[in-house]
Amino acid sequence: MTGPQRVLVTGGSGFLGTEICRRLVGRGTETVSLNRRPSTALDRLGVRQYLGDLADAEAVGRAVTGCDAVIHNAALAGVSGPLRPYWATNVTGTRNVLHQCRAHGVRTLVYTSTASVVFRTGGLANADERTPYPERHLAAYPLSKARAEALVLRADSSDLATVSLRPHLIWGPDDPHFLPALTRAARGRHLIMPGRGTNLVDTTHLRTAAHAHLLALDRLHRGEPVSGRAYFITQGEPCPLAGMATLYLAATGIRAAWHSVPPALVHGAATVREAAARLTGSTRTHTLSRFLVNELTHPHWFDITAARRDLGFTPPVGFVDGLRELAHIAGRPDILNQALAEVTPSSPPGAAPR
């Protein structure tokens, strides 16, 4: 059986979505995208773009028409903010995608979830797919993504095969999320963060995440027994947060050392910030929050055995190789080399940066 002939990528103009579209086009798959705004990058790739919002069922239907597979990648992401906008995009939007897939005879759907759907107070160490959703999510984003993932997995049937991928902290060239957040936290040569940064954290390179999506797509299309399941997708190289963050900054030409502030102090500030946001009706999605503080001070790394076994998944780029690529783009490999000499980039559980 050949692969899908025509694939819709929702959110194809985004960071991960563009890379997925690039790979689909590169192997000769007719690729269309549903985005809210036009993308010159997708124009250059020859991707047909449908403009619209996930919450608009008619717009979703127009984009789905004629497709035999969907990679549902679009989402509202953030660490703060009220539930309503997250719910509209991530939950209602996913319902619309599933409904239109059924209405238009789409046979396979790959959903871009997030490892944060199972994150809880105290963090997670070597968590696998048996880890349940927490009784209480720490923010609207992981809550809405967990609800949407549950919809996708329940929708799996003989007519529509579905699978959910859970990448974590996607980074790489032109990263619009992770690097800007780290850069905002840097003050001169200090990276101001709560805690010591010894908590182990997993990340996912952009090419690794896109590679996993195409593996899942092909296995679903061939009818292999991966449908109705969720899979963690990471580099498989958990690293102490302080080391990971300083290396990532160094790869982009910024030399900054981890500078610890008391976690309790930052947690208190986050509590105050969230209360103020509720009172003022703020909808900002990337401000200080208790969810963010918990992620900065506790472990979150995952067992990717299931993805290796069922999807044939192996990260196509290593953590240090990805860093060296960024350093080459930035034109300052010397800064990264200095940082690598001081920091252990990948460590066994419980290890800390030197």
Indicate if the pLDDT at residue 348 is higher than 50. no
What does each C-alpha distance from 53 to 25, 30, 47, 259 come to in angstroms? 23, 22, 18, 41
- Has residue 108 been placed in a domain? yes
Indicate if the pLDDT at residue 119 is higher than 90. yes
216-238 per-residue burial string, b: 16 or more CB within 10 A, e: under 16: bbbbbbeeeebbebbbbbbbbbb
State residue 205's pLDDT score.
97
- Has residue 259 been placed in a domain? no
- Residue 100 CA to residue 119 CA, distance in Å, equals 30
Band of the pLDDT at 149, cuts 50, 70, 90?
A: very high
pLDDT digits (tens, 9 = 90+) for 33-59: 999 999 999 999 999 999 999 999 999
Continuous segment of H or E residues that includes residue 301 = strand 300-302
- Residue 35 CA to residue 42 CA, distance in Å, equals 10
- Has residue 253 been placed in a domain? no
- Has residue 197 been placed in a domain? no
Band of the pLDDT at 189, cuts 50, 70, 90?
A: confident
The full DSSP string for 91-137 is: IIHHHHHHHHHHHTT--EEEEE--GGGG--TT-EEEE-TTPPPPSS-
- Has residue 157 been placed in a domain? yes
- Residue 347 CA to residue 332 CA, distance in Å, equals 25
- Residue 330 CA to residue 254 CA, distance in Å, equals 10
Residue 20, both tokens: 């997925």
When the pLDDT of each residue in the chain is averaged and rounded to a whole number, the result is 93
Let me know if 248 is a catalytic residue.
Answer: no
State residue 347's pLDDT score.
47
Indicate if the pLDDT at residue 349 is higher than 50. no
CATH number at residue 62: 3.40.50.720
Spell out the residues 6+ positions from residue 188 whose beta carbon is closer than 8 angstroms to its own. 256
Residues 231/310, Cβ–Cβ less than 8 Å: yes
pLDDT digits (tens, 9 = 90+) for 56-92: 999 999 999 999 999 999 999 999 999 999 999 999 9
- Residue 270 CA to residue 266 CA, distance in Å, equals 6
Backbone phi, psi, residue 33, to 5°? -135, 145
Q: Which residue has the higher pLDDT, 354 or 37?
A: 37
* pTM metric for this prediction: 0.94
- Has residue 305 been placed in a domain? yes
Using DSSP bridges, classify how beta strands 239-240 and 200-201 pair: parallel, antiparallel or unpaired.
antiparallel
- Has residue 77 been placed in a domain? yes
Total domains, the chain: 1
User: In sequence order, which ranges of the chain are alpha helices (DSSP H)?
Assistant: 15-26, 40-45, 57-64, 83-86, 93-103, 140-154, 178-185, 206-221, 241-251, 263-280, 290-297, 305-311, 319-330, 333-342
- Residue 86 CA to residue 286 CA, distance in Å, equals 13
State residue 185's pLDDT score.
85
Band of the pLDDT at 346, cuts 50, 70, 90?
A: low
Structural domain containing residue 304:
6-174+202-236+299-316
Q: Strand pairing partners for 166?
A: 232
- Has residue 15 been placed in a domain? yes
Would you call 235 helix, strand, or coil by DSSP?
coil
Q: Mean pLDDT throughout 285-290?
A: 91
Indicate if the pLDDT at residue 203 is higher than 80. yes
Question: Which one of the listed residues 50, 141, 231, 248 is annotated catalytic?
Answer: 141
